[in-house]
Structure 1
């Protein structure tokens, strides 16, 4: 597999993030009502409680756009070696994670916020590798 021999770390990070964000976006779209209810209960004591559907829609759009950009980016890396589109997708992933972190902190879900750190570290490593 030429793609893995030329850019193995970048492509594996992209695959990881594609699976993460596309699956998350698809889950939100398929079970919109269940996700809104769950997140409303999660944020019931936070300033975000009345904005859950709008904020969830924003996260959904960002996740799907990031997944599409990263998928196109993998193809672009394979065909031309260019990394710009993949980098844009990974940066969008980082922005989504920062938004999620803000939400977890406002909901006082510190364990949930901490679990996002693993994804953020992988994402920032992807930004670094795709930017060099």
Structure 2
């Protein structure tokens, strides 16, 4: 199997984003309440529901593209959907990083970097 590292990273990203989207979707109010407090001293304080919806949609898109990309890579060594999944994963993580930095949650921002590294590796390998 020539693409095992790329497939593993796509599966990792798919699990990460689909589980996160699931949590946002089925625990919407809890997430809104926590995020309103988290962003209370930032310019995003009045935009929390819209921002959360935006992140939810990007996480769903990223996760689905990564699943399709892993399947495509396994079946016929195609890289297009995996590349798009990795790119959208990076965009989503950059948005999350921006929010954490804005909220001055530096530990949260540092954690996002741990996810960003394999996402960028996937972009590089699948490009």
**TM-score between the two structures when normalised by the length of structure 2:** 0.97
Say if 2:37 is the partner of 1:46.
Answer: no
The aligned runs of 1:26-105 (5 Å cut-off) are 26-105=22-101
Q: Which runs of 4+ in 1 moved over 4 A?
A: none
Tell me the CA shift for residue 51 of structure 1: 0.2
- Of 86, 107, 114, which aligns to 1:111? 107
Q: Partners in 2 of 1:127 and 1:62 — Cα distance? A: 17
Q: CA RMSD in A?
A: 0.7
Q: In structure 1, list runs of 5 or more residues that go unmatched.
A: none
Q: Partners in 2 of 1:45 and 1:10 — Cα distance? A: 40
Q: Partners in 2 of 1:52 and 1:70 — Cα distance? A: 26
Q: Partners in 2 of 1:74 and 1:14 — Cα distance? A: 6
Q: Partners in 1 of 2:66 and 2:51 — Cα distance? A: 22
User: Which stretch of structure 1 is more off in the superposition, 67-76 or 51-60?
Assistant: 67-76
Say if 2:9 is the partner of 1:13.
Answer: yes
Q: In structure 2, list runs of 5 or more residues that go unmatched.
A: none
**TM-score between the two structures when normalised by the length of structure 1:** 0.94
| Residues 23-67 of structure 1: per-residue CA shift (max 9 Å, x gap) | 000000000000010111111111101000000000000000111
Tell me the CA shift for residue 127 of structure 1: 0.7
Q: How many residues align?
A: 127
